[in-house]
Structure 1
């Protein structure tokens, strides 16, 4: 019926008799179970025998053999699900890999690997059967096929990371505003949940594009980005407008451009003539 359990290295430091308080109870406790522990066990007491058939459930991956499609946004996070039907199942070995589009080889993923350094997180510390992978600060390069491999079974997840497609890209928008007021120069991704990896605002200054910031001289403390609530909205607000602010502005997002031609209308003088008490007066009014 098999080997004497007390001599098996397989059970070293994992088996315990529970007859300390009840000498007639010779039940056997096996800890840290593995699938290899499954099988028939025989308890023999003074010529009588009892057979116990133990089945140890491993981790037949949920959705194994399937391809799951997940879409996320650049700058956000994505949870790639991979788990055992019983989340209490302890898995001996598992791996996450990604298919390299250039070499077509599968590269192992860890928080120490270059592309994913400090951006990936596992959840099996609290639920040993939950092997899901969380990727943060997503980039478009993170898109592709991911493989969760557990004890011979595997699950493939196709991750699509949406970048910023610039609204009105390649166009020229005309905007008019008044001196002393404010103007919003619109520039945003078609999906405003997307966080652009990089963007810039520049103004055409005699055939040279100069970058705009709240620290630059002409715009000091007068410009503000409005993307606090919508990361894909990188519109520029300019306050306390002057006529010198007029001109061509360029919003650049990940290689795409939008030109905004701003016209700032100044204040004009209008002269009125009128007669009162037989005297002629001229008065000048300032208006926009």
Structure 2
């Protein structure tokens, strides 16, 4: 359930985030026509309101929808070759929320299979893209997802943190949603995946640009965020890739841009 006027993140993942699906698409059931229609930000109901937030991980197929309307409610489908997940999104009146919410979803494969993780794996996160510098460009007023993952999404890091270089003091400062520059503007988007350490920043300002570090015990990666003035939608809904062997895990996060 999400609030009208807010935003919702519909993440959809390959267990190996470096897996490149042969193809994938996001669709929604049209109750009037009885058909399943592809979602596009180029035209129609979702024009300039949807974007993928995969960062540098081709196995992250997550979809962000902003400025939610009552018509956005319904059944959504993330589809890859031989697999799909469905999400039922319900809209209600009320102030947009920043509280993370878990969703009840349906996961199906052809043929149907079921995998249950009864317990989380212990610490051992080595980080995808460890010791690398990733460059991401975003736009002031919008949102950005800074990707940081353990190779196994069910790995539970012993500890981790997000920091940013302060060019004025020369120090690396912890990022907190409780106070300071990022008050009520940052949140983790791990959902049911403890190995997903990605950080979402909303209401971007010029001051948010700079070098961010995601650090776990024994490993880290750096993301250089560059801000531009004009908001643009950047997305792709059909990908021709190398591997079709994948399963999907899903979590849902409600947020407000």
TM beyond 0.5: no
Greater share of strand residues, 1 or 2? 1
TM range (shorter): 0.3 to 0.5
Give the number of the structure whose alpha-carbon radius of gyration is greater.
1
**TM-score when scaled to structure 2?**
0.41
Higher RCO (C-alpha 8 Å, min separation 6): 2
